[in-house]
Structure 1
Amino acid sequence: MQQIIEEAKALQERIVEDRRWLHQHPELGFELPETVAYVRGRLEDMGYEVTEPCEGGLLTQIGDPAAGPCVLLRADMDALPVVEETGLAFASTNGNMHACGHDTHTAMLLGAAQILKNHESELKGCVKLLFQPDEEGCAPVDTTGGDEVLAAGVLEDPKVDAVASLHIMTPDFASGAVVTRPGTIFSSIDDIDIQIQGRGAHGSTPNMGIDPINIACHIYQGVQNYIARELDPTQVCVATFGKIEAGRAANVIPDTAHMLGTLRTQSAEVRSRFKKRVTAMCEDIAHAFGGTATVQFLRGVPNTYNDPALTEELVGYATELFGQDMVQEMEKPFPGTDDLAVLSQACPTTYFVLGAPVEGTTDCGMHHPGVQFDEGVFWRGTALLANSALEYLNARAS
């Protein structure tokens, strides 16, 4: 394991170089032509054969599937539509920004790819390297990158036995700390789209119409009352409506109203029950006032779930690699979402978090235009990914 640390430290400058190039060229969704060309070129320079499982995605593998199990290491490559305000010398200038650290994930996995190449003859099985598009869900389609790579068969041929990945994070954890937990680690997300049909009327004669704004108000309160009075208070369930719109004039009752919100849960059961109960409630509330409501849950991503047995095993390897003080268990899942969830529902998965706050910028969290990450920890992410795969395969060599 000490050798892996030494190799990762020796790659630190190259990891930073890769990260800075990627940071200066952020792209969105599935449309990642510059990113894909750069990452493909780096992998091919190492001697990898690279395929594109979906638009904006890259997949390669190393080792012999017949010699043992298969591990998949994943990094996301897409950015956010955020105008950067870091003032860094390598800041983006194209109106997009790697404000969630996907540039660092890609660079660290490229580093792991080099370490695995160094140990190719020792591999007791196969390692797949997946560089995924559209984790942020910025593409105007009903699926995310996780859905697309799963549908493309990245877990098959050869069949993947375990998935490992990491997400850089600030400001929640100490720089260089490796953090995870068994079970749910990131929340689910669903967009809630409610279309309300009423009947327009003059503002002076509301009795002649069916007010969709009134229906929307009752639906809004009904959803919050459902969470407060029907849901187990120990369960996490957050429903936020960030958009409610209707009408164009002060003295006109409109025909329709539209509500757009988001649901986040940390339990598949809570998520499923919310959808059924709130759909029925919205329809019934609208009917009670003479209108109709159509409820759709759009582009959902389930909980990201860490397989307990796999996570215990990989945490053990991480502890041997970095020491007990640098490997921690988080108390509760993150309220945010990551579409590694899609793979985690189909294959045993462990998702690590790597702390990387920069002193003096702790007020800038993830997705903030001023967020920065401590580049000094990048070798740790590379070592963690490469070592997790190598030790997993070695443990099953017999």
Structure 2
Amino acid sequence: MNPFKLLSLLLFVSVTTFAQSDNKLQDDINEIERQVIAWREYFHQHPELSNREFKTAEKIAEHLSSLGIEVQTEVAKTGVVGILKGHNSGKVVALRADIDALPVTERNNLAFKSEVKSKFLDTETGVMHACGHDTHIAILMGVAEVLSKHKDKINGTVKFIFQPAEEGPPPGEEGGAKLMIKEGVLKNPDVDAIFGLHINSATPVGTIRYKPGGTMAAVERFVINVQGKSTHGSAPWTGVDPILISAKIIDGLQTIISREAPLVQEAAVITVGKITSGVRFNIIPETAELIGTVRTLDPQMKEMIIRRMTEMTETIAKAYGGSATIEFQNNTSITYNDLALTEQMLPTLQNVAGADNVELVKATTGGEDFSYFQEKVPGFYFFLGGMTPGNTTPYPHHTPDFLIDNAGMLLGVQTMIQLSIDYLNAN
């Protein structure tokens, strides 16, 4: 045979085989949708609170094991990790889904509505997947099943991280991403990059939204303790009023945002959500306690704001004859999308969803503990549409009426699969 004809034939066979392989991958993605919906509805009917996701973890682990994926359980109490090695060696990419529900009593007419009851902080409450974590579990289980059938396309390793307690562990307990990292979830094999998604009730089905850099806020809880001097309310000059000092501190803290923070760079928020002081109308109390939150999207701004809050709290209290201390508790770091990784993976999002359906958005001051993974390895986190097209009044997350359209999940499955394949192929 003419060598040129032989070469042409080999190229034709190679391209045809590749195209058939790609078609098979897409067929498997399409076929998994019904099962993904069934999983989502199961988890929605059987929600479990943070660090108590025992049945959820058991079902996830059983599924991963059935696929021949190496499984680790009881990671960070109830977390599950699956490791899938491709036919070829290469880097390691991690995919994360959070698995916990919220102490919210569901208020809708879904056929798979949650009727689960539990106790949260000694209060009887319903339990509901009111933030979409049920869809995240189902999506990642679908991703695992499809990729397990296409190990020939994996040039490296995929690590599936099913993370408990994203909403925060119960008081006095460790949990969430921090504890998973502490227990070595990013090691053995060492993760090179991590991807995560969050379905959104106000984003139309078929749409993906993203932002390079700071995309969700660092969240700090702060407590200010003000020390005054108690006296009779009829003679305030004989004491030191901690309520007055508290008012001046609150006013001062807001000037940090309005007069010192470079808001053209990133947004920032200081909110005092609770004040406790006094027992009677005619007694100036001894102490006051202020509790609130700080939200920042830039590391330098965060450092400046916390430093100035400390200085201002102490100085204002002293100026009015009292004293005050402030303590900060870190709830999440900045969910920071690695700039190079975001740029690298943006074409994947556009190829999967269509360029017109991938939207660059502004940051949000909500928080997400996926941020702790991003502090250790480059990460990319994006938002997936879960709102029925045409809906003009979507219900917010963390509310009893929260709704997600099942039709939004297939795009999540396809996107996470393609992000994994494209990242590993490029690296």
TM norm structure 2: 0.88
Work out which of the residue numbers 402, 405, 426 in structure 2 matches 1:371.
402
* Structure with the largest fraction of strand: 2
Give 1:395 deviation, angstroms: 2.1
Alignment of 1:356 with 2:386, yes or no, is yes
Q: Corresponding residue for 1:39?
A: 60
The 8 Å contact of residues 170 and 362 in structure 1, kept in 2 or not, is answered as no
Give 1:143 deviation, angstroms: 5.5
Alignment of 1:269 with 2:318, yes or no, is no
Alignment of 1:231 with 2:253, yes or no, is no
Q: Corresponding residue for 1:337?
A: 367
Q: Distance between the aligned counterparts of 1:229 and 1:205, measured in 2?
A: 36
Q: Distance between the aligned counterparts of 1:233 and 1:107, measured in 2?
A: 38
The 8 Å contact of residues 80 and 138 in structure 1, kept in 2 or not, is answered as no
CA separation of 1:121/1:335 partners in 2, compared to 1, >3 Å: closer, same or farther?
same
- The worse-fitting range, judged by mean Cα deviation, of 30-39 and 139-148 is 139-148
The 8 Å contact of residues 8 and 380 in structure 1, kept in 2 or not, is answered as no
Give 1:328 deviation, angstroms: 2.4
Q: Corresponding residue for 2:50?
A: 29
Query: Secondary structure at 2:162's aligned position in 1?
Result: strand
Specify every segment of 5 or more residues in structure 1 that has no aligned partner in the other structure, as ranges.
none
Q: Corresponding residue for 1:176?
A: 206
Query: Secondary structure at 2:29's aligned position in 1?
Result: helix
The 8 Å contact of residues 136 and 144 in structure 1, kept in 2 or not, is answered as no
Q: Distance between the aligned counterparts of 2:260 and 2:282, measured in 1?
A: 37
Q: Distance between the aligned counterparts of 1:361 and 1:313, measured in 2?
A: 34
Q: Corresponding residue for 1:159?
A: 190
CA separation of 1:293/1:320 partners in 2, compared to 1, >3 Å: closer, same or farther?
same
Alignment of 1:206-221 (within 5 A): 206-221=236-251
Work out which of the residue numbers 90, 96, 103 in structure 2 matches 1:74.
96
Give 1:209 deviation, angstroms: 1.9
The 8 Å contact of residues 88 and 154 in structure 2, kept in 1 or not, is answered as no
Give 1:6 deviation, angstroms: 2.4
Work out which of the residue numbers 15, 20, 29 in structure 1 matches 2:41.
20
Query: Secondary structure at 1:264's aligned position in 2?
Result: strand
Q: CA RMSD, aligned part only?
A: 1.8
Q: Corresponding residue for 1:284?
A: 315
CA separation of 1:92/1:138 partners in 2, compared to 1, >3 Å: closer, same or farther?
farther
Q: Corresponding residue for 1:387?
A: 418
Give 1:361 deviation, angstroms: 6.8
Q: Distance between the aligned counterparts of 1:273 and 1:258, measured in 2?
A: 23
Q: Percent identity?
A: 37
Q: Distance between the aligned counterparts of 1:130 and 1:364, measured in 2?
A: 28
Query: Secondary structure at 2:257's aligned position in 1?
Result: helix
Q: Corresponding residue for 2:223?
A: 193
Q: Distance between the aligned counterparts of 2:359 and 2:25, measured in 1?
A: 21
CA deviation digits over 1:205-235, x for unaligned, max 9? 2222221111111110010122112222323
Q: Distance between the aligned counterparts of 1:9 and 1:49, measured in 2?
A: 25
Larger radius of gyration: 2
Give 1:63 deviation, angstroms: 0.4
Work out which of the residue numbers 164, 167, 170 in structure 2 matches 1:139.
170
TM norm structure 1: 0.94
Q: Corresponding residue for 1:328?
A: 359
Query: Secondary structure at 1:190's aligned position in 2?
Result: strand
Specify every segment of 5 or more residues in structure 2 that has no aligned partner in the other structure, as ranges.
1-21, 117-125
Question: Alignment length, in residue pairs?
Answer: 394
Query: Secondary structure at 2:411's aligned position in 1?
Result: helix
